Chain A
Amino acid sequence: MQDTKNELYEELIIAGFGGQGIMLAGKLLAQTAMNCGREVTYMPSYGAEVRGGTANCMLVIADNEIACPVVGKPDSLVVMNKASLNKFAPILKNNGLLIFNSSLIDIEPDVDESIEVIRLPADELAVELGSIKAANMVALGAYLQARGFLDIESAIQALPEILAERYHKTLPLNSEALRRGAQFAAGAIRR
């Protein structure tokens, strides 16, 4: 988070495998940021992968006009599987934030000491809430809490805008997952 003159300029990558709801988490974050009056760009990886392949999205959230939507060195990284950790951890900025899904990643990330690391058992927490599918929301909740420039309730309000109507029955679960992730991050032991 580049904070010159207290201006927000946050570059973020969310990554995992197809089917983990990576794009949905990214879209929700983008929608929330826009609703809260921020500038935002959301760039999905796109291609043949639907289930099981790699999926990632890049977001830039800022107070002022965003020039480049392509994230070369993210301030924050949320990774949901090991392949994504290996791919993106090396480009994470010093003093950045790393949230990783410890339910699927059984290694200790090898990153610079200045980086804030949150080990988030996203799958386990989601299963406790009722469905492993909500792990993406747990992760996003943890991210929002750790960064603090957007609040969880705004994200919950934005949910119906990005979830197709046929999935609106999952709104309570997803809302709870966002809150649970935030709660975890608030109490997490960070490095």
Chain B
Amino acid sequence: MKTVFKRTPTYKDVPTHYCPGCGHGIAHRLLAEVIDELDIRDRTIGIAPVGCAVLEYDYIDVDMVEVAHGRAPAVATGMKRTNPDKIIFSYQGDGDLASIGAGEILHAGHRGEQITVIFINNAVYGMTGGQMAPTTMLNQVTTTTPKGRNAVEQGYPMQVCELLAVLPGTIYIERCAMSNPAAIKNAKKALRHAFELQVEGAQGMSLVEILSPCPTYWRMNPPDAMAWIDREMVKAFPLGKIK
């Protein structure tokens, strides 16, 4: 029998703790595939965030560290500066990167740290039970915006890519989605490019934002969640290469 598809070795053969329809699993697989395709597993160090992906090291088979909420870009700075030959990535959610860690990501980008950032935007806090994130959509209901997000009181969804793109220290920024096969393929291309830049020693930070479904806290079934990304989320977070 001919093998047409197999698990990439860096993606561990274990069940994940993610909810059905969650985007983290797909993003993990793409990440692992890119690491294997570029043959950088034995010199890659990953940083897991605080959030649903906190146990990322249980699934991605590279050296990994789990760090304080939002501080991954600072940790990555410490790693990359002392180990310029290693490939350093951080994997962060929207609460982690855009809320509590807004300072760290901004300054890592500002300094042009040679790291790769994977930014999972699912418009909600998953791990803590569905609270408002900086990227929560207007009118989106969360446990802390029971009447829907209201721009006057809670501000607009935060556009991280556009914010970081103005910094000279960022070299590559693209927004992708886990919402349909074409978008997923494109996300893999973007991830690969972001890692390639670091492998080449390009001077600056690269970041790939991934719009990712959270059926549980969007209170939708998985197909509806995927469709909601393509129909609604992309209005606040347009896809494509930002920089």
Q: Do chains A and B touch in the complex (CB under 8 A)?
A: no
